[in-house]
Structure 1
Amino acid sequence: MLLPILLILASCAFLFLGAELLVRGGSSLALKLGLTPLVVGLTVVAYGTSTPELLVSLKAAFAGNPDIAIGNVVGSNIFNIAVILGLSALVLPIKTNLQVLKWDAPLVVLATLLVPLTFLDGVVSSFEGACLVLAALLYTWWAIRLARRDERLGHEAHVDVPEIRRRPSVVLDLLKIVAGLAVLAFSSRILVENAVVVAKIAGLSDTVIGLTIIAAGTSMPELATSMVAALRGQSDIALGNVLGSSLFNLFFVLGGAAVVAPVSTSGLQIFDLVALAVITTLMLPFLFTGRSLNRVEGGILFLSYLIYLGVMWPK
């Protein structure tokens, strides 16, 4: 039992390392190819930090563990909003801007309420998965178009683009990307395999493991990014990272896994979906009141995760 747990912890650390390599190499290469920092932030960085969720869910779908795939998506989104956003606000109150209030946050809530409709028949089919992937691509296209419009209008935009040195060559950037993907692929396999072992030994379902251990593990890049941003006072990075990752999980991660193999949702409890909807919806009025997410509201979000674990785990 101890060895699988240690391997799970080690794989979570390597997921963070792999995502870091992928984001930095991809960002540097994209800037060298002429993409603007804003577009890089909306594409390479946003998708890069969510790559662990994607690879773990794809691995689970390939391995015939659909409960882990669906649990990872639902659990990661609950973790993103309740824990990452909550802790970030506890570190420093997060200010919001009109763009977030008008589009991004409501879209996350809307997707959270509508995507579970694909669960009603007990499975997310390959066709439904393809529709979700298409939604992810359309959202990416729309976000990039909106960002370029704002740049033309001279609006200030804050995005999460790592410090990039100009000296490294394109070859080094490519090596970072390849190494990052290799580390992510290897660590995601180790994480899924050992999570299944722990689940069987402890008598826990694959869904519970996906909702908790794997969800938290694959969210480490987002947690690190948002916490560092909060410590630096970069509110919109912390908030944008959580919102973008949540949409990516619902559309691309779940959709991609379903395209590989239809994802059964039978392991999910109604309580899990209600918790996801309530926690995500709770975020919206918090962001609107005072145009910020203060420490008290962040504490409530974090407390909601502890309540969720307290109710869900015994079941």
Structure 2
Amino acid sequence: MDVMTIILFVAGLALLIIGAEGLVRGASRTALGLGISPLVVGLTVVAFGTSAPELAVSIQSTLAGPGGADVALGNVVGSNIANVLLILGISAAITPLVVQQQLIRLDVPLMIGVSIMVFIMAMDGVISRIDGLILFSGIVIYTVFAIRQSRRETAEIQQEYREEFDVGRPQSIVDWLKNIGLIVGGLALLVLGAGWLVDGAISFARMFGVSELVIGLTIVAVGTSLPEIATSIIAALRGERDIAVGNVVGSNIFNLLSVLGLTGIVAPAGVNVASAALNFDIPVMIAVAVACLPIFFTGRLIARWEGWLFLGYYIAYTLYLILAASQHTFLPAFSSVMVLFVLPLTALTLLFMAWRAFRTERRIITS
């Protein structure tokens, strides 16, 4: 194994994490200093900042030549799957997570709708520049709506965002200079780290004889999701359990509308969609988004056992990718067990729980 490839990949990943952290902190404090509310900062600046690694990697991938488009698409789709199954799974395993009513009524349905829209756009085998423009216009509309909605939030929620993202005290000239330095330095590290990570990922794919799509869906996707992992786990440990959930859903919407949208605009010939992604990975992303509705609806809480369920499915998904890439003889048996037993039983359980929660809520309203 080429040692330089490993060093390049790890160094690129480290620069992405450090750069994203610097960008988030600098931009958050700068925005607050300009009079923007902490909640708006959390919903927009921080959500975009935690998605910055995906954006940097996806754009860099599309410009890297053959194989880069698969890394770019795999990065976005894999990050969205990891955000729900891995990040919410770990966070809920730590402590049950609170789900805000707005997530059930607006944000999760929006995440499902955008996921389906991306699937429809990808059916012709490419996310074109027109598709990219449509997606990116969606993030502009979503951001404006989020700002308007934030004015209705309570003082307690605004204070929670203020504490989570370390913003709120008066800023001096030195603070302004530090914040600008964090923004510029964070962006520079993101660009440099993305280039190293993409080069390393493509080298890994060729070294192990697997597709760039699989590398993008697994190693790159988890690596670029580390800011979301850190933010959600820290929020869960601090007891800020609604931030942990909101961060994941908001990041998924940003990934599809902003990251994939901008990547489609920048890519000279759009983002090519591999048949494997269209037939399996994007449908999995949609299924994961849909599964959020019954789980979020039941008691407006993600219980610990549901967190472990998410984690179990992420392990199963990753195992499937590995078995499929290696054409292992165990793949048919594994697929049969998942399709014929595990998935139907899970779907029935979630539907029953959602139905029971709906009846309980109606009983409370009518009584």
| TM-score, length of structure 2 as denominator length | 0.82
1:207 and 1:267 in contact (8 A); partners too: no
In structure 2, how many angstroms separate the alpha carbons of the residues matched to 1:187 and 1:227? 24
Structure 1 letter corresponding to 2:302: L
Q: Does 1:129 align with 2:132?
A: yes
1:75 and 1:211 in contact (8 A); partners too: yes
Q: 3-state SS of the aligned residue for 1:35?
A: coil
Question: Which residues in structure 2 correspond to 1:114-193 (within 5 Å)?
Answer: 114-148=117-151, 150-151=152-153, 156-157=157-158, 158-159=160-161, 161-164=164-167, 166-167=171-172, 168-193=174-199
**Where do 5+ consecutive residues of structure 1 fail to align?**
none
Task: Report the identity percentage.
Answer: 43
Deviations 1:60-119 (A, max 9, x none): 112231111111110000010000011100011001121111111221122222221101
Structure 2 letter corresponding to 1:264: N
2:11 and 2:196 in contact (8 A); partners too: no
Q: Give the alignment partner of residue 272 of structure 1, picking from 273, 281, 284.
A: 281
Structure 2 letter corresponding to 1:268: A
Q: Does 1:58 align with 2:44?
A: no
Larger mean CA deviation between 96-105 and 228-237 belongs to 96-105
Larger mean CA deviation between 274-283 and 190-199 belongs to 274-283
Deviations 1:23-60 (A, max 9, x none): 11111111111111111112211111110000100101
Q: CA deviation at 1:3?
A: 3.0
1:67 and 1:267 in contact (8 A); partners too: no
Q: 2:202 aligns to what?
A: 196
Q: CA deviation at 1:274?
A: 2.4
In structure 1, how many angstroms separate the alpha carbons of the residues matched to 2:245 and 2:263? 26
Q: CA deviation at 1:15?
A: 1.2
Q: 3-state SS of the aligned residue for 1:268?
A: helix
Larger mean CA deviation between 155-164 and 41-50 belongs to 155-164
Q: Does 1:70 align with 2:73?
A: yes
Which structure has the larger Rg? 2
Structure 1 letter corresponding to 2:64: A
Structure 2 letter corresponding to 1:241: N
Structure 1 letter corresponding to 2:44: T
Larger mean CA deviation between 1-10 and 294-303 belongs to 1-10
Q: CA deviation at 1:162?
A: 1.5
Larger mean CA deviation between 300-309 and 156-165 belongs to 156-165
2:228 and 2:247 in contact (8 A); partners too: yes
Q: CA deviation at 1:173?
A: 0.9
Structure 1 letter corresponding to 2:41: V
Q: CA deviation at 1:154?
A: 6.3
Q: CA deviation at 1:156?
A: 4.2
In structure 1, how many angstroms separate the alpha carbons of the residues matched to 2:74 and 2:186? 24
Q: 2:346 aligns to what?
A: none
1:136 and 1:248 in contact (8 A); partners too: yes
Q: Give the alignment partner of residue 311 of structure 1, picking from 320, 326, 334.
A: 320
Root mean square deviation, CA, Å: 1.6
Higher relative contact order (CA 8 A, sep 6+): 1
- What is the total number of aligned residue pairs between the two structures? 313
Question: Which residues in structure 2 correspond to 1:1-315 (within 5 Å)?
Answer: 1=1, 2-64=3-65, 65-148=68-151, 150-151=152-153, 156-157=157-158, 158-159=160-161, 161-164=164-167, 166-167=171-172, 168-261=174-267, 262-266=270-274, 268-269=276-277, 270-315=279-324
Residues 267, 212 of structure 1: alpha-carbon distance in 2 compared, 3 angstrom cutoff: farther
In structure 2, how many angstroms separate the alpha carbons of the residues matched to 1:154 and 1:16? 31
Q: 3-state SS of the aligned residue for 2:239?
A: coil
In structure 1, how many angstroms separate the alpha carbons of the residues matched to 2:161 and 2:271? 33
In structure 1, how many angstroms separate the alpha carbons of the residues matched to 2:37 and 2:282? 38
In structure 1, how many angstroms separate the alpha carbons of the residues matched to 2:222 and 2:82? 7
In structure 2, how many angstroms separate the alpha carbons of the residues matched to 1:284 and 1:302? 17
Deviations 1:253-272 (A, max 9, x none): 11111111200002533121
Q: 3-state SS of the aligned residue for 1:169?
A: helix
Residues 156, 28 of structure 1: alpha-carbon distance in 2 compared, 3 angstrom cutoff: closer
In structure 2, how many angstroms separate the alpha carbons of the residues matched to 1:239 and 1:175? 30
In structure 2, how many angstroms separate the alpha carbons of the residues matched to 1:24 and 1:266? 36
2:91 and 2:307 in contact (8 A); partners too: yes
Larger mean CA deviation between 292-301 and 5-14 belongs to 5-14
2:125 and 2:275 in contact (8 A); partners too: no
Q: 2:348 aligns to what?
A: none
In structure 2, how many angstroms separate the alpha carbons of the residues matched to 1:251 and 1:268? 22
1:94 and 1:239 in contact (8 A); partners too: yes
Structure 1 letter corresponding to 2:213: T
